[in-house]
């Protein structure tokens, strides 16, 4: 299994949010932490750097090959690394429990059990969890532009993009604090945007069979939608808002 978010997307979108998430969680050296649905490991790398050689990172995802690849990269930070396969019974994913549990833009890819419940159960009594999703009231333009272009230019509704934009049911997350994060997503022109958003993500498989003309129409529609955020040199700078769902075991007890 390849990561859901390729390197281009991870560097443009995920890395800056990972840095903010680490700060909100208050990760300190020596802690045991968990990257829930680690995907390509951008958050896992940030967690590993934060806990250091006396700390430990637990990586959780659905594919063992992906997990082993990410584990090798995260171990380069000097921390101890272990992996868990995500299943419907992944409710005791970290033994002993974790000081911090986090997920970054992968909420919609968790199957079966509710991710927030799993994250909370993995915490030690003084632990804290944070799950970052896009702001459902103001979803990010870099994703929305593509969703709209697929629909309008090709009549396509993407299951992958729906998962990217998924967020928790507010009723189920009633005791989780909502923190708004803001950032600016940057792409090196429309070609860089297309490579990061389509070329390196599973969306490519959803577009197999579409004609070159249709793909050009989709890309042109994205370019029009992003025109207001395009600088004179063609660089895209897109303001985004995300929601960080935060919970501490002590607060929810």
pLDDT (tens place) for every residue of the chain, 253 residues total: 889 999 999 999 999 999 999 999 999 999 999 999 999 999 999 999 999 999 999 999 999 999 999 999 999 999 999 999 987 555 456 578 999 999 999 999 998 778 998 899 889 999 999 999 999 999 999 999 999 999 999 999 999 999 999 999 888 899 999 999 999 999 999 999 999 999 999 999 999 999 999 999 999 999 999 999 999 999 999 999 999 999 987 655 4
By CB atoms closer than 10 A (0-12, 13-18, 19+), residue 148 is middle
Distance in angstroms (rounded) separating the CA atoms of residues 241 and 136? 9
Structure confidence at residue 113 (pLDDT): 73
Q: Report the run of H or E that residue 168 belongs to, with start and end.
A: none
Contact 186, 140 (CB under 8 A): no
Distance in angstroms (rounded) separating the CA atoms of residues 99 and 156? 42
Q: Using alpha carbons only, give the angle 237, 238, 240 rounded to the nearest 5 degrees.
A: 140
For 186: left if phi > 0, alpha if psi spans -120 to 50, otherwise beta; the answer is beta
Extract the tokens encoding 188: 């090196």
In a 3-state reduction of DSSP, which class is residue 240?
Answer: strand
Structure confidence at residue 1 (pLDDT): 84
Distances (CA, A) of 253 to 26, 117, 250: 20, 13, 5
Structure confidence at residue 114 (pLDDT): 85
How does DSSP classify residue 92? S
Structure confidence at residue 89 (pLDDT): 57
Structure confidence at residue 159 (pLDDT): 96
Structure confidence at residue 102 (pLDDT): 97
pTM of the model: 0.93
Extract the tokens encoding 229: 């955020």
Contact 153, 132 (CB under 8 A): no
Distances (CA, A) of 2 to 39, 57, 231, 245: 8, 21, 32, 27
Q: Report the run of H or E that residue 11 belongs to, with start and end.
A: none
Q: What interhelical angle do 42-51 and 15-25 show, nearest 10?
A: 40
Superfamily for domain range 7-136+167-182+241-252: Vaccinia Virus protein VP39 (3.40.50.150)
Extract the tokens encoding 35: 């990257």
């Amino acid at each position: 299994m390849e990561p859901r978010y390729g390197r281009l997307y991870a560097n443009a979108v995920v890395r800056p949010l990972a840095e903010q998430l680490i700060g909100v969680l208050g990760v300190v050296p020596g802690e045991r932490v968990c990257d829930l649905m680690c995907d390509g490991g951008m958050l896992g790398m940030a967690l590993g750097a934060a806990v250091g050689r006396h700390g430990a990172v637990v990586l959780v995802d659905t594919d063992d090959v992906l997990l082993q690849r990410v584990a090798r990269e995260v171990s380069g930070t000097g921390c101890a690394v272990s992996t868990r396969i995500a299943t419907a019974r992944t409710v005791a994913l970290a033994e002993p429990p974790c000081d911090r549990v986090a997920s970054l833009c992968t909420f919609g890819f968790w199957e079966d059990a509710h991710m927030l419940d799993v994250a909370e159960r993995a915490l030690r009594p003084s632990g804290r969890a944070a799950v970052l999703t896009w702001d459902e009231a103001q979803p990010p333009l870099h994703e929305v532009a593509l969703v709209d272009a697929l629909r309008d230019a090709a009549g396509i509704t993407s299951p992958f993009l729906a998962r990217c934009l998924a967020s928790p049911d507010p009723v189920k997350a009633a005791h989780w604090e909502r923190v708004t994060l803001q950032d600016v997503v940057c792409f090196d022109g429309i070609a860089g945007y297309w490579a990061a958003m389509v070329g390196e993500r599973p969306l490519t498989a959803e577009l197999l069979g579409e004609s070159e003309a249709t793909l050009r129409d989709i890309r042109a529609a994205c370019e029009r939608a992003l025109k207001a955020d395009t600088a004179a040199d063609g660089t895209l700078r897109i303001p985004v808002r995300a929601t960080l769902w935060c919970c501490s075991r002590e607060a929810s007890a």
